[in-house]
Amino acid sequence: MAVGQNSSFAPDYAEAKMSASRMFALFEKVPMIDAYSDEGHKPVSMTLMMRFCDNEVEMEQQLN
């Protein structure tokens, strides 16, 4: 009886194992952009405009 009950979890186990392997592969991947580096182009200024209309927020952002 236990074998029959456990075999119903086999598809879920296989899917969870595949998902975990994909997550570990993603965590081990080295990004092309180093977010902690001070090198590269940086915006001189930034403008942010917000409007409140009917309890909704509209935002515009411009990088100069």
Identify the pLDDT of residue 33.
Answer: 81
Contact at 8 Å (CB) between 60 and 49?
yes
Encoded amino acid at 52, one letter: F
- Residue 61 φ/ψ, nearest 5 degrees: -130, 135
Q: Give the number of domains in the chain.
A: 1
Q: Looking at residue 12, what is its pLDDT?
A: 84
Q: Which two tokens stand for residue 11?
A: 């598809």
14 is in which domain, residue-wise? 1-38
Ordered per-residue pLDDT tens for the chain, 64 residues: 566 666 677 778 889 999 999 999 999 998 888 888 888 777 778 787 877 777 776 666 666 5
- Asked whether the whole model's pTM tops 0.85, one would answer no
C-alpha pair distances (Å), 54 with each of 30, 34, 49: 44, 40, 17
Dist CA 31 CA 19 (whole Å): 20
